């Protein structure tokens, strides 16, 4: 179930829907988390979290387990300008370094 209270009516209902919606809007590359940094699939560059440009964020919580949470972000690479997607969990079982990366991205918005 998505966190629809804070999102407009056209918000995606699932993580898959969010990825599809972002792809249709031109977010075609993938961003991969690396120790407190992101790797752009478009150019291969690795950037600090402070260097990424967040343009869209969708947050989801599991319908049957509220501890299951995920986030889908539409990002722009500062080096090559390609737009892409980062998908991550952010619940209790998420790697602490990945949580730190996500929080620094969100805090930058």
Q: What is the pLDDT of residue 85?
A: 95
pLDDT at 7: 40
What pTM was computed for the model? Answer: 0.79
pLDDT at 34: 83
The C-alpha atoms of residue 23 and residue 77 are separated, in whole angstroms, by: 15
Q: Is 102 helix (H, G, I), strand (E, B) or coil?
A: helix
pLDDT in 10s for each residue of the chain, 109 residues = 333 334 444 678 889 999 999 999 999 999 988 878 899 998 999 988 777 888 999 988 877 666 678 899 999 888 898 999 999 887 777 888 888 888 787 665 5
Domain count, the chain: 1
Rounded distance between C-alpha atoms, residue 33 and residue 27, angstroms: 17
pLDDT of residue 8: 46
- Domain residues for the domain of 91 are 4-108
8 Å CB contact between 26 and 56 = no
Report the largest interatomic distance among the alpha carbons of the chain, rounded to a whole angstrom.
40
Q: Which residues contact 18 (CB under 8 A, 6 or more apart)?
A: 12, 58, 60, 72
Residue 53: its pLDDT value, please? 82
């Amino acid at each position: 179930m998505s966190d629809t209270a804070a999102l407009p009516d056209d918000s995606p209902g699932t993580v898959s829907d969010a990825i599809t919606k972002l792809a249709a809007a031109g977010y075609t590359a993938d961003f991969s988390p690396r120790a407190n940094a992101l790797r752009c699939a478009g150019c291969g560059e690795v950037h600090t979290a402070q260097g990424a440009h967040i343009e869209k964020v969708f947050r989801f919580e599991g319908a049957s387990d509220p501890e299951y949470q995920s986030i889908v972000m539409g990002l722009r690479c500062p080096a090559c300008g390609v737009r892409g997607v980062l998908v991550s969990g952010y619940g209790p079982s998420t790697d602490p370094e990945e949580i730190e990366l996500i929080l620094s991205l969100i805090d930058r918005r």
